[in-house]
Amino acid sequence: MLTRKISTRRISTKRKMQALVALILSLSLIAAACGSDDDDDEGTGPVEVETPTTQAAPDEPESSDEPEAETPEPSETSPPATPPPTTTTEPPPAAAGDECTEALRGGSITMGVFSETAGLDPTVTSGSGVTGMIELMTLYDVLIRLDSDTGQYVPHLAESLESNDDYTVWTLGLREGVQFGNGDPLDADAVIASLNRWSNLDASIGQRNQSNAFVSFITEMTKVDDLTVQFTLDSPWAGFPYTLSDEPGMIVNVNVIEERGGVAEFSRNPTGGGAGPYELVRYAPQEEIVVRAKDDYWGGPVCIEEIKFVRVPGAPATYDAFQNDELQVAFLREPRVIAEARENGDTNALVFLKNTGGVVMINNGVRGSTPPTTDLRLRRAIMLALEPSVLDDRANEGTGRPTNALLDAGSFYYDADLFAQVPTDADEAARLVEEVKAEGNWDGSIRLHCHNAPSRIDWALAAEALLESVGFDVEVLNDGTILDLISAVLVNADYDLACWGFNLDDETPYIPLLQHTCTSRSNRTGYCDESMDAAIAQLRLAGNYGETQAALAEVWRVWQETIPSVAYETTEEYVVFKDNIKGVVGTQASGILFHNAFIEQ
């Protein structure tokens, strides 16, 4: 569902629908990164750096959210019209009083993040605000961003992005005078060099970072002039702006990587390697990341002088720290805690709704492995046994959005007939489990990997009970952190079942589903089905609301037949700010930009 900002002003139903329609009219296929990360290279200790200064001349300040405008509500029964070509233009001026100015400079904040990033190089993370995108965008910025009020992709670090009529050729215009932190120009050569890195990732990075999959759609990058790059794609894709709004759009100065001696050291100290509003001060894995505002940011003054990113284990502890003023920003992803925050009036927040945000990811034979879950009968038994409402009651005290369907009832594409839930059936699940056991090749044992956040411990206990009630012998592995879980799944591919999330957004349905295609380099489960490949290919080519909905319905039909994994809830990602923090900008994949943020006096 569309990212929306909740603050002290109310957002009308018309406003929400207007934003959703603008989304569909602006582009037909947008992609979203999945929410997971890895941290198998923690380094040898914290990195302390001095923030360099350069003499770059800043360009005109970047404008912020567009003013609200009321339009007639569309008919609830009529889909939006066919979208025009996806062309990003300069964003409209910011609303008065909603942007950083010189007079507002000052102050620092601490943000409680959901999980730690694997490093400070975009290629070593796996995207989204859940796993490092927020921290990295302070250092690198991003070429294109999703305007969360209108649903349109607009230039940010870039100046323009336009396509030809069939979406196969895209032309990127860069701003004049933008420099990396070390003073090198951010020009066409720099963009091409940075994007070329995604074609040369090693196998371990490729497994944890799916961005290389959609960068691979680019068959040619041409330098038109110093400030213009032309991208030629292997086939039409109206959602290409997403590529430049995610990690590949965080342009890295490759000269700094060479100076550091490679990715490992650069990932710990990328000072001078980005064009974002902040520079690194300290990176201490498992402790904190501290960044300090630049004096010469291309977009104008940066008001909040220092941001510290820390992880407090679990949403309850994170929200407690927020209430105690130890944190000024808190990333919450647990329904019970989000409900408490709303009840307490903490609604100065960015809210991101994620279809299939809660998933039991199933190993279908990734990297040639042969877990018991390669048997479709057992995958079906898992789906029939896991009652979403029971899991929600145990983990969330009934405050979540339980469903095993591909789309939530709140999705713009939802239709009750097309996206009905699968009824659970414990008797049929038990019959299937017994049938496989009777063949003598499997004793009923299965491993469930999760992590040690309190709500996930509760969830794992409920999942274990439901699975064992139909004949599985479950070993729950949840003593480790989120990063331990990520390592088991993405790095080692050593799991049967894992608590996970695919984060299928309305504005970005294609890329999260791309990992379920046979040849995708981001395929993390080993699932492969020709019918699913065909359905996802239709989603990429969909040109209007009806075609997109039909493609998603076909994905769901094939999903029910082949069961690549089992969803159990739609999740909210709720990033709450102290009431005096203004000017934050939400973007795709739960990303947040602080370039325009300020602390109201």
pLDDT exceeds cutoff 70 at 206 = no
CATH topology of domain 353-572: Dipeptide-binding Protein; domain 3 (3.10.105)
pLDDT exceeds cutoff 60 at 87 = no
Cα–Cα distance measured from residue 360 to residue 447, given in angstroms and rounded to the nearest whole number: 12
Q: What is the reported pLDDT for 48?
A: 79
Is the torsion defined by CA of 116, 120, 124, 128 positive or negative? positive
**Structure confidence at residue 319 as a pLDDT band (50, 70, 90):** very high
Which residues are 331's β-sheet partners? 575
Collapsed DSSP state (helix, strand, coil) of residue 585 = strand
**Structure confidence at residue 511 as a pLDDT band (50, 70, 90):** confident
**Structure confidence at residue 579 as a pLDDT band (50, 70, 90):** very high
Structure tokens that stand for 135 in this block:
């921290």
Contact between residue 175 and residue 156 where contact means Cβ atoms under 8 Å apart: no
Q: What is the reported pLDDT for 130?
A: 87
Angle 359-365-369 from CA coordinates, rounded to 5°: 125
Q: What is the reported pLDDT for 542?
A: 82
- Kindly provide the residue ranges of all beta strands, DSSP E only, lying in 14-80, ordered along the sequence: 47-48
Q: How many residues does the chain have?
A: 601
Which tens digit of pLDDT belongs to each residue from 336-375? Answer: 999 999 999 999 999 988 999 999 999 999 999 999 999 9
CB count, 10 Å around CB of 50? 10
pLDDT exceeds cutoff 70 at 2 = no
Which tens digit of pLDDT belongs to each residue from 518-529? Answer: 998 789 999 999
253 vs 259, 404, 554, CA distance in Å? 10, 43, 42
Cα–Cα distance measured from residue 370 to residue 378, given in angstroms and rounded to the nearest whole number: 13
Phi, psi of 594 (to 5 degrees): -105, 5
- Among residues 182, 176, 233, which one has the least CA distance to residue 51? 182
Cα–Cα distance measured from residue 290 to residue 463, given in angstroms and rounded to the nearest whole number: 38
Cα–Cα distance measured from residue 569 to residue 335, given in angstroms and rounded to the nearest whole number: 11
- Over range 399-427, report the average pLDDT: 95
Q: With a threshold of 0.85, does the pTM exceed it?
A: no
